[in-house]
Amino acid sequence: MSGYGSTPVLSKTVGAAGTGVGPGGPGSGRERRIREKAATPLRGAAGLVGLAVLLEVLPHTGLVSADYLPPTSEMGRALWRLLAQEAFWTAFGDTLTGWGIGLAVAVVAGVAAGIVIGSVPLLRAATASTIEFLRPIPSVALIPVAVLLYGTDLRSKLLLVVYASFWQVIVQVLAGMQDVDPVAEDTARSYRMGTWGRVRYVMWPTALPYVMTGVRLAATVALVLAITAELVIGSPGLGNQIAVAQTSGAVPDVYALVLVTGLLGIAINLVARIVERRTLHWHQSVRREG
């Protein structure tokens, strides 16, 4: 058996570290990350399959009544029936409409307000206490206000969605503006670059990763608030369909609709991550992951 100080072992170690082929080389870390990245969807699918099997078995064991937790197969049949109904797709479209419009308004308002406030130190100091006071207020606490103002109209849903999503965006934008390198900003000023030029070429590239994080978080929050508004207020959408199914005692339909909202949330999060990666393809964090 060769010892640690023997020439063959020493030469193999040096060759691995120098060429990046062996266990100590830089290539091995990248290959491991690629394998882990490829295995992540498989792990997620395995988890979903395991959950489906568990939900199928539990009602048959008698531990949970099938009246309150139907088997997975029955949920699947209910979902198949819903997919064939025009009312389901109308509700699906209403949910996406409220989500999309509310998210767009929140992103535009949050980015604009964050850039203006973040680029003026005096304005940032003057509004800090107001932001910290308003941000923790739960959006569901505004439901009575929304109902008084707009009833069960789409505007009630938009009020809750915009309010909840706006804070996700503006907080991230302000953090990005605060992270701007002072040396780069002073250099831009020394070159007599105007306010718009400094925002475009110095502040915006630094704040953009924060902005995309805020948009991704806001997209999920907007969906949660849209469905909550439909469920509580009665605005048209999937949440309203869940409330109607629960009231009528259609338990499999309730679980099928909840499954749809969960899948919709996963899809929105995946799309947001794809957009974030493509927008920030130049950023070192995305390049490191790739």
pLDDT value, residue 29: 61
Q: What whole-number distance in Å separates Cα of residue 49 and Cα of residue 195? A: 54
pLDDT value, residue 228: 93
3-state secondary structure the chain: CCCCCCHHHHHHHHHHHHHCCCCCCHHHHHHHHHHHHHHHHHHHHHHHHHHHHHHHHHHHHCCCCCCCCCCHHHHHHHHHHHHCCHHHHHHHHHHHHHHHHHHHHHHHHHHHHHHHHHHCHHHHHHHHHHHHHHCCCCHHHHHHHHHHHHCCCHHHHHHHHHHHHHHHHHHHHHHHHHCCCHHHHHHHHHCCCCHHHHHHHHHHHHHHHHHHHHHHHHHHHHHHHHHHHHHHCCCCCHHHHHHHHHHCCCHHHHHHHHHHHHHHHHHHHHHHHHHHHHHCCCCHHHHHHC
- CATH number given to 98-280: 1.10.3720.10
Per-residue tokens: 109 = 């308002």
- Contacts of residue 52, defined as CB under 8 A and 6 or more positions apart, other chains included, come to 72
pLDDT value, residue 64: 80
Residue 270 burial by CB count (10 A; 0-12/13-18/19+): exposed, middle or buried? exposed
Q: Is the pTM of this model over 0.85?
A: no
Q: What whole-number distance in Å separates Cα of residue 245 and Cα of residue 166? A: 32
Of the candidates 111, 90, 92, 89, the residue with the CA atom closest to the CA atom of residue 100: 92
Q: Which residue has the tokens 């949660």?
A: 224
Q: What whole-number distance in Å separates Cα of residue 152 and Cα of residue 234? A: 6
Q: What whole-number distance in Å separates Cα of residue 220 and Cα of residue 30? A: 31
Q: What is the pLDDT along the chain (290 residues), one digit of tens a residue?
A: 444 344 344 343 344 444 444 444 545 566 666 666 655 667 667 777 887 888 788 888 878 877 788 888 888 999 999 999 999 999 999 999 999 999 999 999 999 999 999 888 898 889 989 988 988 888 888 999 999 999 888 999 999 999 999 999 999 999 988 887 777 777 777 777 777 777 777 888 888 899 999 999 999 999 999 999 999 998 999 999 999 999 998 999 999 999 999 999 999 999 999 998 888 877 666 655 55
For residue 6, the tally of other CB atoms under 10 A from its CB is 11
Burial 80-118 (b: 16+ CB within 10 A, else e): eebeeeeebeebbebbbbbbebbbebbbeebbebbbebb
The phi and psi torsions of 19 (rounded to 5 degrees) equal -95, -20
pLDDT value, residue 181: 75
- Sign of CA pseudo-dihedral 54, 59, 60, 64: positive
Of the candidates 73, 67, 89, 82, the residue with the CA atom closest to the CA atom of residue 257: 82
Q: What whole-number distance in Å separates Cα of residue 60 and Cα of residue 255? A: 17
For residue 32, the tally of other CB atoms under 10 A from its CB is 10
Q: What whole-number distance in Å separates Cα of residue 191 and Cα of residue 206? A: 19
